[in-house]
Amino acid sequence: MTATTCEQAVPATHPRSTRGAAPKSTPERAHRGRLLWTLLGIAILVAAYDVIRYRPYTARSDFAYVLGIVGGSSMLVLLLYPLRKRLRRVPALGPMRHWFRMHMVCGVLGPLLILFHSAFRVGSINAGVAVTCMLLVAASGLVGRFLYRHVHHGLYGHRASLKELQDELDRRLGELDVRIEPLPAIKRLADDFASAVAQQPQGAWPRLRHFVALGWKRRRAVAAVRRALAAAPAAGAPRCDATALQGLQETVDATFRSMQRARQFSRYEKLFALWHVAHVPVVYLFVLTAIVHVIAVHIY
C-alpha cells in the first residue's frame, strides 16, 4: 500500500498560460492603490481642518463660488447615470460600467467640493437644508454601493442571479470535497461551517442576527482552516509544500465565500430594492433644495 502523497491530498494547480493571466504584481498594485487612497484621505482631512481652523476664505468669496459651481455641476452629473440606464439600447453612449464609474466619482467629488464651498459652515436655513439633503444623498449612495456589490458580479459586472450563485457553489463544493477528502480535520471544519450557513432561525431578530453574523463566522472558519493546515503535518496528515497548502487555503476561502453569498443573496436583493425606493426621492429633494439655494444666493 502506498502512502498518500501531498499531490493526492492537495492537487497542485496547473500552471496558467501567460495569455489573459492576471499580472503578478496585482497584490502590489492593490497595496499601492490602498496607500494612495489613504494618503488622499489624510490630505482631505488636513485641508478640511485648515479651512475650519484658519478660515482662509469665506463662502461668499470667488474661490468658494467656483467650488460651488463645480461641486453643484458634479452633483447634477449624477442624474445622467439613471438616464443612461433608460437608454440601454443605445450602444453609441458607451458601456454602462463607464457611466457607473463616473456616477461614483461625482458622488464623492461633488459633496466634498460643496462642503469646501461652504467652508464647513451653514449661514442660512436654505443652505442648511441643501447641505443636509446632500449628505443624505451621499450616505445613501455609500449604502447603495455596498448593496450593489452583493447583487452584481463585481462593481461593474452584470446583475447576479440565485441560480448562477448556486451553480457556482455546487462547482466549488465538488472541487473542495475532492481536495479535502484525505484531510478529515479540514473536512470537519467545512461541514461545521456549511451547517452554520444552512441554519434557519425562527423570528425576525434571530434571522437578522444570523444574517449579520455570517461574515464573521466565515472569517472565523477560514482562520480555523488555516490553523488546521499549519498543524496538519504534525497530526500525521500528508506533507504538503507551501504552494499546495496555499492553493487549498484559497479553495476553502472561495468556497466559504460562495456559501455565504448564496445564503445571503435573496436578502440583499430585497434590501437593494428597498434602498432604490428610498434613494430616488432623496435625490430629487436634494436637486430641489439646491435649486432654491442657488436662486436665493443670486437674489439676496
pLDDT of 22 over the 50 cut: no
pLDDT for the residue numbered 252: 92
pLDDT in tens, 207-252: 999 999 999 999 999 999 999 888 766 555 555 666 777 888 889 9
Q: How far apart are CA 177 and CA 95, in angstroms?
A: 39
Which residue has 496528515 as its cell numbers? 237
Q: What nine digits make up the cell of 200?
A: 434557519
pLDDT in tens, 117-154: 999 988 788 888 889 999 999 999 999 999 999 998 87
pLDDT of 64 over the 80 cut: yes
Give the mean pLDDT of 22-43: 76
Q: How far apart are CA 276 and CA 144, in angstroms?
A: 8
**pLDDT > 70 in the chain, percent:** 86
The Cβ of residue 296 has, within 10 Å, a number of other Cβ atoms equal to 14
The Cβ of residue 111 has, within 10 Å, a number of other Cβ atoms equal to 20
How many residues are there in the chain? 300
- The lowest-confidence range among 21-25, 53-57, 91-95, 96-100 is 21-25
Tell me if 266 sits within 8 A of 36, measured CB to CB.
no
